């Protein structure tokens, strides 16, 4: 009986682990004209993506400071699970994909010299992915990043740390981040542009989470932007001020998926089988 009990505990542990493990979506992406790029996992956003930390350019970083980070970029390419480029003809010539985000953050730790800071995401904010044709996004003015057809949207999760290290005069610096966000409650990932989005016609959404990772740099150089989210869209336009810290942001993203229902069913059948076996042993 003890061996059976241990086996059941092991199955439950493995089941919990697999339910919490991050499974990345691999699927097809449409160019908006009926042509699909297949075996896609990674969305590579342009290295000319721009970001701004509102209010952080006014002085030294102070522990406990809360601020908002804005990000916008156009898609530069797609990659398969092995990291190899996936052909996506006419991207940024006939059509474009764009990404915009509002990320609430807090400074949680600052080094003694004031040049290195650890930042942490706060719950909320928002992210959106759009498709548009013809391409019209302009990095310098921030126009055209949140128009077109909505492909996916969501919010950010709290507790994801990022790091940034600046020069003594804060004229140059480099940082890195990995943050995650949920698909928005009640929203639909657009099946006209991403496939699959469902396990079946009556099942739950397959895509439930997004992982965004990349590098931040100052000065912004070719990512210098005067206004974020210019033009019509869900996010209010923001004009950069002298009190803000402007970044060049090179990022990529992946979607995460919920565990396939059949995996949960198989685990349940296995546990039922073990339970039946234990009862049989007890009768003997």
Q: Provide the CA 211 distance to its chain's centre, in angstroms.
A: 3
Question: Considering the chain, what percentage of its residues have pLDDT values greater than 90?
Answer: 70
How far apart are the two ends of the chain, measured CA to CA in Å? 11
**Closest CA relative to residue 117, chosen from 47, 213, 48, 218:** 218
pLDDT in tens, 153-212: 999 999 999 999 998 888 899 999 999 999 876 677 899 999 998 876 666 678 889 999
Digit-coded pLDDT (tens) for 139-162: 999 999 999 999 999 999 999 999
Q: Give per-residue pLDDT as tens, 273-283.
A: 444 444 444 34
* Domain layout of the chain by residue ranges: 24-259
**Sheet of strand 36-40, all strands in order from the earlier edge strand to the far edge:** 36-40, 27-30, 194-195
| pLDDT tens profile 14-64 | 333 333 457 999 999 999 999 999 999 999 999 999 999 999 886 678 899
How many whole angstroms separate alpha carbon 141 and alpha carbon 72? 11
């Amino acid at each position: 009986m003890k061996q059976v009990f241990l086996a059941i505990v092991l199955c439950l542990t493995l089941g919990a682990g697999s339910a919490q493990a991050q499974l990345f979506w691999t699927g097809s992406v449409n160019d908006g004209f009926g042509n699909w790029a297949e075996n896609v996992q990674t969305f590579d956003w342009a290295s000319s993506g721009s970001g701004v930390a509102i209010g952080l350019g006014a002085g030294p970083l102070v522990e406990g400071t809360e601020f908002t980070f804005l990000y916008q970029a156009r898609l530069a390419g797609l990659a398969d699970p092995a990291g190899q480029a996936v052909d996506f003809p006419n991207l940024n010539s006939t059509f474009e994909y764009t990404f915009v985000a509002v990320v609430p953050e807090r400074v949680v730790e600052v080094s003694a010299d004031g040049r290195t800071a650890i930042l942490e995401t706060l719950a909320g904010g928002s992210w959106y992915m759009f498709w548009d044709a013809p391409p019209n996004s302009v990095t310098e003015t921030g126009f055209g990043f949140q128009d077109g057809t909505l492909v996916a949207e969501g919010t950010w999760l709290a507790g994801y740390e990022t790091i940034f290290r600046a020069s003594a005069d804060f004229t140059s610096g480099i940082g890195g981040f990995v943050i995650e966000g949920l698909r928005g409650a009640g929203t639909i990932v657009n099946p006209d542009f991403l496939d699959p989005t469902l396990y079946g016609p009556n099942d739950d959404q397959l895509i439930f989470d997004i992982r965004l990772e990349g590098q931040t740099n100052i000065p912004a150089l070719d990512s210098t932007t005067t206004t974020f989210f210019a033009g019509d869209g869900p996010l209010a336009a923001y004009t950069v001020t002298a009190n803000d810290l402007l970044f060049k942001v090179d990022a990529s993203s992946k979607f995460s998926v919920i565990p396939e229902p059949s995996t949960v069913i198989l685990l349940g059948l296995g546990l039922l089988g073990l339970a039946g076996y234990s009862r049989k042993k007890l009768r003997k």
